[in-house]
Amino acid sequence: MAIETRNKRSIQFSMASMSDLVFLLLIFFMLTSTLVAPNAIKLLLPQSSSKTLAKQTITVYINDKAEYFIGETPVAKEQLVTLLGNELAGQLEGSVVLRADQSVEVQYVVNVIDAVNKINEKYDTKHKVIMATRPG
């Protein structure tokens, strides 16, 4: 008597489990990317409808109390030229992204622009200041 097996092995690969895995990874990355906070300093940026993106070299923050920060380090107004000059040393064309709270007076923004202009004159460079805004 010959014994026959009812279960036959299939040589085809099932893609169903692979697509499930891809969708799970997609959902995971979508959820975790929304949890990442790009700003360490809480600011309410002014609104703008332009969508210009630039490569940033240094980020300068001005919070609602008119305090300056380079990265997350607090800086006095008098130290802006020195510390920005140190950060931009060795670069001919860097971008300083200015993230200022919408309640900050224009003079504080102009102080950062003046500091970058002094660095440009002193070292004959072409650094620029870019104002960060939120979509609106």
Residues 98-126 have pLDDT tens digits of 999 999 999 999 999 999 999 999 999 99
pLDDT (tens digit per residue) in 2-17 = 677 677 777 777 777 8
Q: CA–CA separation, 134 vs 12, rounded Å?
A: 51
Rounded to two decimals, the pTM is: 0.64
pLDDT given for residue 11 in this prediction? 75
Domains identified in the chain and CATH numbers: 47-135 (3.30.420.270)
pLDDT given for residue 66 in this prediction? 93
pLDDT given for residue 6 in this prediction? 75
Residue type, 43: L
pLDDT given for residue 107 in this prediction? 93
CA end-to-end distance (rounded Å), the chain: 80
pLDDT (tens digit per residue) in 44-70 = 777 777 766 666 679 999 999 999 999
Pairing type for strands 58-62 and 47-48 reads: unpaired
pLDDT (tens digit per residue) in 18-30 = 888 899 999 988 8
Q: Are 91 and 126 in contact (CB under 8 A)?
A: no
Q: Which two tokens stand for residue 97?
A: 């992204």
pLDDT given for residue 124 in this prediction? 92
Q: What is the DSSP letter of 77?
A: G
pLDDT given for residue 38 in this prediction? 58
Q: Are 134 and 45 in contact (CB under 8 A)?
A: yes
